[in-house]
């Protein structure tokens, strides 16, 4: 497919990636409309089918139809395949299949892979793909093995194995789809340490990014980690701890969330509620029942998201880190953004701020549209929904199931843009830089 798109239609790499995701979404939607995909054996409305397919490929988790009760085993299998393709990227998948078939990986293929996986250079890309798939399947298998200790006793061997694999893949790919039923996610397992810890670890690993995995795998001392990996690990740890403390404080006495739990479960569920918004979409406590402060913390975590080159969405941890350290450097009177005894170029800083502004505008515009199409919903819940779609998270306060047709289309487009758009914007900024050969006179303007 990649060769056809690039050679026959003469599309550039960014267009190939964008169109590739769109084609996978359309194929998935067509399969989900078939009677064999639903429990009732009837055709599924195309809007709901394409919404589900978009959510799966964009590894979001927002659903208008309950995954556990509406879709048949065939439909659920289609969904998990779409999640795997969306999480790893269709270019990664096609390259891996080409490797297995012994086909030659061309320079054009490597350029596409470089942009799809958001890496710095072309060197070692084929080997990187092999490592990524080996690690992905290994981690997902281990996750399924741990989950099977809880699901098999409850659902039986065959169903328990399927549930274990489904939730392991969904968690690793930061998708947030579940088979528990009735839109309850993991609320019924709020006291199950094995399930919540396993799911959260899979979410964290999937959200770190492929390049960071390989650096950790080849770790030979702190000095060998790149600034990118250090930034990702620092921000990921900080956001998990910070989110955990804030949610624990704000929800500690809330009877709708943590209030009626014992101390151990409060700690466990506050931790899970900090991990999942970046950007997995599972929830073990009521999202609609959270306090206003708790919802705002969750919105912030969803907006930041995971790391570049990972299965996660959002603004990205490294981007957020650049923004924070730029502010700190300015306050300290430094000329450059500095961290880890390194400085970052102004181009990187400009791109980070540009992406921030674009992301904020997108979320605000979508929220404003939803206030018109969904007038019965509160503003905070619509902002929550828009941020969840942009960050490809999948958490909802119950708005998704009540969306109008226009609302479903808007959220589906937002999920697509959240998965493809930010990467496209960055690539455009990197590859279309113009050198004019001259500079205008410097101007002064009052700030603050």
Tell me the domain boundaries of the chain: 2-431
> What pTM value is reported for the model?
0.85
Split at pLDDT 50, 70, 90, the class of 212 is: confident
For residue 144, pLDDT over 90 is answered with yes
DSSP string across 59-113: T----SS-TTTTB-HHHHHHHHHHHHHHHH-HHHHHHHHHHHTT----HHHHHHH
Dump pLDDT digits (tens) for 148-206: 999 999 999 999 999 999 999 999 988 889 999 888 889 999 999 999 999 999 999 88
Reduced to 3 states (helix: H, G, I; strand: E, B; else coil), residue 38 is strand
What are the tens digits of pLDDT across the range 316-339? Answer: 888 898 999 898 888 888 888 888
> Are 213 and 308 contacting, i.e. CB atoms less than 8 angstroms apart?
no
∠ CA 18-173-193 to the nearest 5 degrees? 160
Q: Read off the pLDDT of residues 81-136 as tens digits, 9 standing for 90 and up.
A: 999 888 776 445 555 555 544 555 555 555 555 555 555 555 556 667 777 778 88
Top-confidence residue, 19 or 262: 262
CA distances from 275 to 29, 181, 199, 279, 293 (A): 30, 22, 10, 8, 17
pLDDT at site 416: 86
Task: State the maximum Cα–Cα separation within the chain, in Å, rounded to a whole number.
Answer: 74
247 vs 258: CA distance, rounded Å: 9
Structure tokens at 328: 């700190």
Category of 41 on φ-ψ map: left (φ > 0), alpha (ψ -120 to 50) or beta: left
Share of residues in the chain with pLDDT > 90 (%): 49
Rounded CA-CA distance 409/99 in Å is 37
Task: Indicate the burial class of 344 (C-beta count within 10 angstroms; 0-12, 13-18, 19 or more).
Answer: buried
Give CA–CA dist 410/403, Å, rounded. Answer: 10
| Neighbouring residues of 349: CB distance < 8 A, sequence distance ≥ 6 | 322, 326, 337
Q: Cα(228)–Cα(233) distance, rounded to whole angstroms?
A: 9
Digit-coded pLDDT (tens) for 285-322 = 999 999 999 999 999 999 998 887 777 778 888 889 89
End-to-end CA distance of the chain: 51
Q: What is the pLDDT of residue 5?
A: 46
Task: Find the angle CA(344)-CA(347)-CA(353) to the nearest 5 degrees.
Answer: 95
Percent of the chain with pLDDT over 70: 79
pLDDT computed for residue 406 by the predictor: 94
Least confident of 48-52, 59-63, 257-261, 310-314: 310-314
């Amino acid at each position: 497919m990649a060769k056809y798109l690039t050679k026959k239609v003469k599309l550039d790499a960014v267009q190939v990636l964008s169109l590739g995701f769109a084609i996978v979404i359309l194929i998935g939607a067509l399969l989900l409309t078939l009677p064999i995909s639903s429990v009732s054996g009837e055709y599924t409305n195309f809007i709901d089918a394409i919404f589900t397919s978009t959510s799966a490929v964009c590894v979001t988790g927002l659903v208008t139809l309950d995954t556990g009760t509406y879709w048949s085993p065939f439909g659920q299998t289609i969904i998990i395949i779409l999640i795997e393709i969306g999480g790893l990227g269709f270019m990664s998948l096609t390259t891996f299949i080409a490797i297995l078939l012994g086909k030659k990986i061309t320079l054009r293929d490597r350029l596409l892979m470089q942009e799809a996986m958001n890496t710095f250079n072309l060197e070692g890309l084929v080997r990187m793909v092999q490592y990524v798939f080996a690690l992905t399947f290994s981690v997902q298998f281990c996750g399924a093995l741990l989950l099977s200790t809880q699901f098999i006793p409850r659902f039986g061997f065959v169903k328990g194995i399927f549930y274990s694999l489904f939730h392991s893949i969904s968690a690793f790919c930061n998708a947030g789809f579940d088979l528990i039923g009735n839109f309850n996610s993991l609320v019924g397992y709020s006291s199950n340490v094995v399930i919540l810890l396993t799911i959260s670890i899979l979410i964290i690993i999937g959200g770190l990014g492929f390049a960071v995995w390989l650096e950790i795998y080849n770790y030979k001392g702190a000095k060998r980690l790149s600034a990118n990996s250090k930034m990702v690990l620092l921000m990921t740890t900080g956001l998990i701890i910070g989110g955990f403390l804030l949610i624990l404080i704000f929800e500690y006495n809330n009877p709708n969330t943590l209030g009626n739990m014992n101390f151990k479960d409060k700690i466990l569920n506050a931790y899970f509620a900090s991990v999942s918004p970046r950007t997995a979409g599972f929830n073990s406590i009521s999202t609609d029942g959270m306090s206003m402060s708790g919802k705002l913390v969750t919105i912030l975590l969803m907006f930041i998201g995971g790391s570049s080159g990972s299965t996660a969405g959002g603004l990205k941890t490294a981007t957020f880190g650049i923004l924070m350290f730029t502010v700190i450097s300015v306050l300290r009177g430094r000329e450059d953004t500095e961290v880890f005894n390194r400085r970052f170029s102004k181009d990187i800083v400009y791109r980070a701020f540009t992406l921030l502004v674009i992301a904020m505008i997108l979320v605000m515009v979508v929220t404003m549209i939803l206030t018109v199409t969904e007038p019965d919903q509160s503003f905070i819940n619509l902002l929550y929904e828009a941020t969840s779609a942009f960050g490809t998270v999948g958490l909802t306060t119950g708005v998704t199931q009540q969306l109008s047709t226009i609302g479903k289309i808007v959220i589906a487009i937002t999920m697509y843009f959240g998965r493809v758009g930010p990467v496209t914007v960055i690539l455009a900024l990197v590859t279309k830089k113009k050198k004019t050969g001259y500079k205008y006179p410097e101007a002064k303007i009052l700030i603050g």
